[in-house]
A = this chain, B = another copy of it.
């Protein structure tokens, strides 16, 4: 019993040092806020960019004669390859030290960098979503005399977007975890806050486990929330 009491006291002590002393929990809270802000706005940029790129790519593959589409498709490919071909941490540093060199708002740099990164992945998700819509849908639309643009907008995209909602939810969770490297460039995100607690307590165990725990609750909680929403959406579809 005494043995257990000791362990218990030790844990309380460590938690107290890591969280309460010097109001360290405030750092965590601030870091968490930055993490969420970056992931959320990056997702928005990513989705907008992703849909644009996906539509360009699908349009270009259907209409091989248009020169403008060919050029846009070429640029899209460069963008996708650059993003998917390099680690996100390298992208972040390039954005911070080279491209957005005169921007002093680091959080903004992170949002743009992660948003650009996400866009390339969302584009592929969206493209797969468009291509997963049965070819018969396009054929039915076209054989009714609808143009390819109207068919895309009225028939294909609505089905594609509904199909990829789960993948987008997943992308948000991925982003949330990926922003953990924002500390590389002067951003006080959740991971960085954990680092600071680690530095000032010399107790990596407690600090790291608290941070991991917060991410875990966040990620699993969001995953559950999203899958609940998805189920409700599917049920309300009444078909």
Q: Given A98-B205, A194-B90, A208-B93: A216 and B85 within 8 A (CB)? A: yes
Q: Given A94-B208, A208-B94, A209-B94: A215 and B89 within 8 A (CB)? A: no
A180 interfacial contact with B, CB 8 Å:
yes
Do A87 and B178 touch (CB < 8 A)?
A: yes
- Interchain CA distance A192-B168 in the complex, whole Å: 32
- Interchain CA distance A45-B177 in the complex, whole Å: 22
> Residues 77-120 of chain A: 1 if any B CB is under 8 Å from the residue's CB, otherwise 0?
00001101111111101100110000000000000000000000
- Interchain CA distance A112-B16 in the complex, whole Å: 32
A229 interfacial contact with B, CB 8 Å:
no
Do B90 and A212 touch (CB < 8 A)?
A: yes
- Interchain CA distance A227-B88 in the complex, whole Å: 23
Q: Given A81-B220, A82-B216, A220-B81: A88 and B208 within 8 A (CB)? A: no
A161 interfacial contact with B, CB 8 Å:
no
A165 interfacial contact with B, CB 8 Å:
no
A211 interfacial contact with B, CB 8 Å:
yes
Q: A137 to nearest B CB, angstroms?
A: 23
Residue of chain B at shortest CB distance from A89: B180
A-B residue pairs, 5 tightest by C-beta: A87-B180, A97-B204, A85-B216, A87-B177, A85-B219
